[in-house]
Chain A
């Protein structure tokens, strides 16, 4: 693992879209599902996000991504189904426990929101080279210094983690107790993390010097070796997203007033 990334290399229409277009879709769809406490609205966005994932040929990876939250989603159904404060209408009984309609519907609302969040962001993450997203943001006005942090974090972390196994081995050979009682394992934690922190801070200082020497601190016009293009399709999709978002916000305000 050299880069911390879930990017799946494919050649699809979704892959070719500008990263910011995909980011915008994710953000707007998430905000709208939270603006409206409606299962239908949530389901519409889940369906649309899912169809994007399918057309980007990343459906299988998406399922793996959803697996991460499977258990907590299940526990939401159980706990809300059983204990939701507005529970009144029993639906069915399981092992002597009564599940209620209100709680189950509430858990369904929570689930469509979270699932949409994961799929819509998943489309962005699975179909975009992480450094392209950062480059795109910097080219559209994000501070290049901040962009550097985002881009480097994806490579520095795997680099640091690859040294953890070296440190673990070294400490073990010096007789470090990694299997003993809780106290022994806590002191092992210290002995493992300490050297890692020291080494990586020393390296961080060197890296800071090295990039300063290569003009990182120079303020002025920057150029980009990889320019991220905004296609016609991107412009149309962005316009459509802004329209949908504006309509949703206006509608929401109207609903509040009425």
Chain B
């Protein structure tokens, strides 16, 4: 069933369907999409559209943590995710969740040891462990806090710690499930700065996010989900230029809304999604005047 387009893909999902135990409806229904290595992908959709469920399936929590039957296939580098060994899976995929507090292991008394938690579990040698911890703490500007108790950190710092702790395991794919939804504006900015660094590391990033103005700055493509189904999987400008986008209850970047109001399209026929695009477009208009 492998076709040419999925052969080179890092992640390939085909006809994926899943229902939680005790749930009435399917959370995912017949989803097919592929993500290339090094791409950044956004997942959007209203509450209950299946965004988190898709993240859990990609990271293997379904069916290991949440049971229930998976139909269809989900593969990373051609290997079946639901049956892959846990150890291997952890080295492939990392996951960051919404609530910064509940992601802290709770068993460690310092930020430094908190990052070590995952490395200890995987049996990483001590020298390498110290090296990796130092690297990620510096990378996410937490090195000065290394001897603090994790619970003394702010929400934004905690979320950066969560990202650092997962990245210390050096996954090839990082999934972020609404990483800023429970943060104040300041924390949100901090986390987005951290996310922008991820691109430079060359890892594949999948991010569920409602703050579209920020999201469109980072992602190559967006998957729009509705009622567990994949509505459209395309570039941000094509997604947000859909005339019926409002029907899926997701809103749109403020710049797109503005340009739609003004009837301003880019030369390629789509509406702009980011601040920069909009400014370019507007300054272009001025020139014609």
A→B interface (CB under 8 Å): 2-3, 129, 131, 134, 147-148, 151-152, 155-156, 158-159, 203-204, 206-218, 220-227
Contact = CB atoms under 8 A, between A and B. Distances in A.
Contacts of A210: 95, 97, 102-105, 162
Q: Which are the 3 A-B pairs with shortest beta-carbon distances?
A: A214-B118, A215-B121, A225-B116
6 contacts: A3-B109, A155-B149, A158-B151, A206-B99, A225-B129, A227-B126
Contact of A223 (B56, B64, B109, B129): B129
Given A3-B109, A203-B102, A208-B65, A159 B119 contact: no
Interface of B: 56, 59, 61, 64-65, 86-87, 90, 94-95, 97-99, 101-109, 112-113, 116-126, 129-130, 133, 149, 151-152, 162, 165-166, 169
Contacts, number: 118
B65 A151 contact: no
A214 B65 contact: no
Given A206-B102, A210-B104, A220-B122, 9 more contacts: A2-B151, A3-B149, A131-B107, A131-B109, A155-B106, A206-B98, A213-B94, A220-B87, A223-B125
Nearest to B116: A225
A223 B119 contact: yes
Most chain A C-beta atoms within 10 Å of own C-beta, residue among B65, B95, B107, B108: B107
Contact of B123 (A147, A206, A216, A223): A223
A210 B108 CA distance: 14
A225 B125 CA distance: 9
A226 B108 CA distance: 11
A209 B61 contact: yes
Contacts of A156: 106
Nearest to A202: B102
B106 A215 contact: no
A76 to B, nearest CB: 38
A218 B169 CA distance: 13
